[in-house]
Amino acid sequence: MQGGDARALPSALGLPLPQLLGKEAPLVFLDYDGTLSPIVPRPEDAELSAPMQAVLLQLSRRCPVAVISGRDLADVKARVGISGIGYAGSHGFDFVTADGKEWRHPEADRYVPQLDRLEQALADRLGVIPGAQIERKRYSLSAHFRRVATADLPEFQSAVEEASKAAPGLHHGLGKMVHDFRPDLDWNKGRVLHALRERMRARPAAINVFIGDDRTDEDAFSVLGERDIGVVVGVPAHPTTARYGLRDTIEVKRFLEILLEALARRR
Ligand SMILES: [Mg+2]
């Protein structure tokens, strides 16, 4: 699907939510990094603010909510720290539903040895590059270069390319200052959105809201229907198929508050 420039998108803060939602509570799907929590130099420092956590908790009492992240499932679950919502990790290769049912892609385990090999190959090559950081998730791996000096970037780039040859069968994508590797299967954030929706037992009229900021979120925007609300955060370098925009995580919180108000007023 052709995408457009995020700068040209109308702000999601101006949406007439009561009309768009209709009578049904929406299903709310959220990315984590860059959406609920600002992007920080070290991924381990990306914490959820207490006010954002409070809004999510209140929202989860009004409608089904799920966080779909590239992080490890246990990691994103611990960072958000709310029970009663769904979580998907490794870009959707495993998830846990709001009622605690766990799921993993039936073929994902087959790729763990490849991910192990890639992790080892990257550790050997990136260990000498200051600031290079490997983030291993159960079913995916990220090689971060946000803290790598510009002068070291060509070396980082060739190290990643070399290491990826040691582990064929993985999908290699580029996110925000990060190389993402995951099983090369027909599965992504869009597919997992549908899988989670099915398990939320939503009425057909309930619309989907999806908010994300990076390239892998485009897979989710592209499965949204006419009535759904896809929102991109910030101005990504890639073209987007989201129909609305929000400037930053502060505006994401504001949007979720407006959504909460719209849901609260109806009852
Ligand atoms: Mg993100």
Exposure string for 221-242, b = 16+ CB within 10 A, e = fewer: bbbbeeebbbbbbbebeeebbb
- Please tell me the class of the 24-105+187-265 domain: alpha beta
Under CATH, domain 108-183 is a member of which superfamily? Trehalose-6-phosphate phosphatase related protein; domain 2 (3.30.70.1020)
Q: Where are the domains of the chain?
A: 24-105+187-265, 108-183
Ligand 1 center to residue 176 CA distance, Å?
A: 8
* Average pLDDT in the chain: 95
Q: Please report the pLDDT score of residue 166 as a whole number.
A: 85
31, 33, 214, 217: which is the annotated catalytic residue? 31
Annotation marks residue 31 as catalytic: yes
Ligand 1 center to residue 213 CA distance, Å?
A: 5
Mean pLDDT, range 202-227, rounded to an integer = 95
Ligand 1 center to residue 44 CA distance, Å?
A: 14
pLDDT tens by residue, 20-33 = 998 899 999 999 99
Q: Please report the pLDDT score of residue 4 as a whole number.
A: 74
Q: Please report the pLDDT score of residue 22 as a whole number.
A: 84
CB atoms within 10 A of CB 41: 12
Ligand 1 center to residue 175 CA distance, Å?
A: 9
Residues 182 and 118: their CA atoms lie apart, in Å, by: 11
Q: Please report the pLDDT score of residue 209 as a whole number.
A: 98
Exposure string for 119-144, b = 16+ CB within 10 A, e = fewer: bebbeebbeebeebbbbbbbbbbbbb
